[in-house]
Chain A
């Protein structure tokens, strides 16, 4: 692709009249300088190969190649044609000042033309341009104007004017009102005589160069700054991808694909440098490998091989083998697998990050006809082609859909990638429509309706044309804009902190003012009609591992009584509504229930013992620990409430059943934790003396008869308890 680049000359007036301005307005000089800065910045960051020269006129000195016999005075070629860089930006910042002479702007134009012609000799430039920034406040000798126009035309040089004021089609600037504020800044007290005559010359030149749109190339400084604010996107040219569309084995159509839409990425990435020297070479990154042992023994890279996980297995699989065994295909392809109804390929199934437009092969009329037949057939039948697409031999093949697209001036297929089975995740969502809880009422619906009305971004103007107020694809990627803004700032003023976001960028991302204003009312209405309350974050449900882990490990015997109150409160909040003794944390549920007093004490105790029996029937240490916690809770609450009978009764019957149920291990644990009967000393109503209570745990002989429920099976226990 031969580089098609452009060469342009920025020609700026620095003469004394440029510093004049109406009070409260920026002088034209400053505005013009800003335009130039923005423009050069754009070029620098866009990294184009376009070359740029800078010519100043109205300078105190003279430096140009036409300087002869007092002709072409006060015109300085500040910089010859070359790729712009930060040096140029700095020069503009520090070396371009308002000066005290005036020069003929037509003379300056001639200097620029001469410069362009001599310096582009032998270079391939597809576009030559001169941008003139001036207030036109010098008398211009119009004698040679036709020669100049002729030369411009011959050399193919385009012209742009940047003026402090707007120029209208009409002589009367009365139409100004349509376009902007009545008194455009920069107009000051109106135009001077020189300016008026110059404007006529400018119009004359521009209309001669391009009858239709010549005046479109005259900008006001303000407009220009706004437009130039956006950093130009990095230039890319379409890259053709020639291939063949095939249907079956014997119907090929020559095609060429172009990437139509894809997300732009920044070309450059950050490199890491040393903070002191700012040099990349001073920093080295190194990756070492080490075994997963206590010493983290390092191993050489050469002593490692490549492997893959296959589920829990690790499979050594060298690169060579992988290459040998990998999926291979024949390369480049755009083969139709079949045709499907358009509505079966849904937008939400689109994959990938790009859209490709497919046209017929270059300069191939017959392929054009064949492809057109396909496009039209698909369009008329409302079908899409499902195709296998492979960019080349090295890339992975895709499955995708080619939609027909018929525009006024062209037809093409639009290819989008579709998912593979592996990519899909089947999610089901509970229905919103059929859920009575969430069905909005009619008044609620109408509130939303009027919100939509007020926030329609598409408006019909007087002519019945639709006007889009928020064209997303006209907004430059804000990330890039910000990125370049910060880079530029850092480059020109290295030691200052980064600037805030530019106001225009912020504004560009917001809802248009008209809409924002218009929707206030409907929004208030929506707010009233739809109560929205933020839910306080609840504690997450605990996983079983946590719960079991905690319960078994806790030193239960040491549960300090003082802490209990707090414990309860926390438990209350966490559990919300405990209605019965559950199996997850029966002890806590038990305590909570007793505290809430919603159920009689006896009932709660019964629930607890039922759980206990369940837990004990599973002879597992973790369950034993849990059971002990339950018994401890049972005891503690009984003591607190001064009712020892249920507890003592249960513990005694438990003891008798130990041998039958083979729960000796559990009993040992109980003994260890010294969980015994409640004695008279603790609760007055108890029938057990202190010594009896102490003795209770010691006598663990298997002499007791099976008086208590001979529970073999948990089912039976349940039944017995049910009868209680």
Chain B
């Protein structure tokens, strides 16, 4: 029996991101998923995304991909991240496609799943692009663009081979952060004698 391979898409719990929902359900992207052996697509479509999702699923017709979606998950997305991570033989490692929110990105990085980060241009001053770019530059994530999600999927396959550790273990700066970091600042401001 063929193994499963899951693509998990999350738009976040705060803002809507209809363009991403439509993008991952477009025929061209579904075709790209198939060409990379994906079997399942799970979409967390967010606060007011159900209508967009339902319409797009209907328009997609049959695609050879198992598609499911949900609005929000109060308990957190760990379960879906683990599905995307796969468990070995019967479930290959897939990919996470996420809005550029720090929470989702950190989750995927910690679980070492290839992640495509798609900034949401409608948010206040569009700061999300900078995070996506900086992390892509350091090769932690793929910076995905709505106009060409299929290419992002390809890039993610390449990223899979070069998956980097998070948090970065060896950099001197980050070692320092673990040693002193926030704890040092809090203790100092409290005035603790040491």
Q: Do A and B bind each other?
A: no
Identify the A interface with B (CB < 8 A): none
Identify the B interface with A (CB < 8 A): none
